Amino acid sequence: MKISLHKVAMAAPNDVSELKALIDQGAVDPATIVAVIGKTEGNGGANDFTRGFATLSYELLLAPLLGLSAEEVGQRIAFVWSGGTEGVLSPHATVFTRSEAPPAATPRLALGIAVTRDLAPEEVGRMGMVHEVAAAVRRCLAETGITDPAAVHYVQVKGPLLTPARIADAKARGATLATEDPNGSKTYARGAMALGVALALNEVAGADLADATVARRLDLFSSVASTSAGGELTNCEVLLFGNSPTAGGDLRIGHATLADAIDADGVRAALASAGLSVAATATPEQAGRIAAIFAKAEASPTGRIRGRRNTMLSDADINYERHARAALGAVIASVTNDPASFVSGGTEHQCAPGMAPIAAIVRV
């Protein structure tokens, strides 16, 4: 297996011209595309439709090229968008292709993708979701030929939350739920998916997990999970990134934990983990080797960073996730020289409270 990636800029959520040009030039074979992960310029909230617009636009580009309907493209390729390009963050998509290749001398980036079955509302944010995600992570491990959990550096999971309709359905059947608050269910869903990753990677013990653990026992977490929940989904989709002895290509991934939203040392640690040692700011040669950064940003639960109060949590005009993404996105760019990184919000059971995962893919 060989994973390649192309970062394409987007002038708008429906701007697919850079990928089209790469395909036209023969630089990307559309048949090899397996995943698209990117940032769109919406507000990142419930009324952010830029994510759906971007997905539809890429589906329409690829459908005739693949001889599929737009809907079938969506089933074939994993699309993961985070809305909100605050501060200097730049709208873009990272397009992943997977093709056959002989193993390289040292482990290289591998990408496994698996989906769970549809989940019942009463499983969302609970052990049902945890176990299904864990099983999907294990299928990804098998697919990538990774046997050592320590070789896994980033696991992106997206899955369902509880919509009003699904809550009503469950109640009609007499089923109990993690919560009856649709908005609040995001927390439980993201948390359960992260615990599923943690379970499969032996970061937590199964004996410590229960329905009541989710979104409460925050000392249990995965250091490599990045999860998101959306009302349009009924199952979970897992994208596992790690370095595999059976993979070829020239990419390698590493990760670190961000202590807070201004942890430039953490950014450098992620790069170093992937094999690139940056002293302060990446030199142009180093910047050219940084292929992609994926990170989570979160407001400090204490309202303080390095002892200083910030106003993220009390700001009624700008959501705290937007403040956090603006801060971290700028700090990452100040190290990598590239404002087009993937920074998203919501870190339940993804590193310890206040901390967040960051992964870096670099060219060997």
Q: How many residues does the chain have?
A: 364
Near a second copy by CB under 8 A: residue from 105, 172, 207, 308: 308
Residue 49 in the binding site for a second copy (CB under 8 A): yes
User: Which parts of 257-276 interact with a second copy (CB under 8 A)?
Assistant: 261-265, 268
Residue 9 in the binding site for a second copy (CB under 8 A): yes
Q: How far is the CB of 246 from a second copy (least distance, A)?
A: 34
Whether 97 contacts 37, CB under 8 Å:
no
Near a second copy by CB under 8 A: residue from 36, 38, 58, 92: 92
Residue 47 in the binding site for a second copy (CB under 8 A): yes
Amino acid 106 reads: T
User: Which parts of 320-349 interact with a second copy (CB under 8 A)?
Assistant: 322-324, 326-331, 333-335, 337-340
Sheet with 237-244: strands ordered across: 108-115, 237-244, 152-160, 225-230
Expressed in angstroms, the distance from the first to the final Cα of the chain is 16
Contacts of 300 (CB under 8 A, 6+ apart): 260, 261, 310, 312, 354
Distance CA 268, CA 26 (A): 34
Q: How far is the CB of 311 from a second copy (least distance, A)?
A: 5
Near a second copy by CB under 8 A: residue from 29, 148, 206, 309: 309
Find, among 18, 35, 36, the residue nearest to 27 by Cα: 18
Nearer to a second copy, 208 or 315 (CB): 315
For strands 237-244 and 108-115, give the pairing.
Answer: antiparallel
Catalytically active residues, by annotation = 158, 228
Nearer to a second copy, 105 or 277 (CB): 277
Distance CA 77, CA 137 (A): 17
Residue 284 in the binding site for a second copy (CB under 8 A): no
Binding site for a second copy (CB under 8 A): 9, 11-14, 41-50, 52-53, 56-57, 60, 70, 85-92, 261-265, 268, 279-281, 305-306, 308-312, 314-319, 322-324, 326-331, 333-335, 337-340
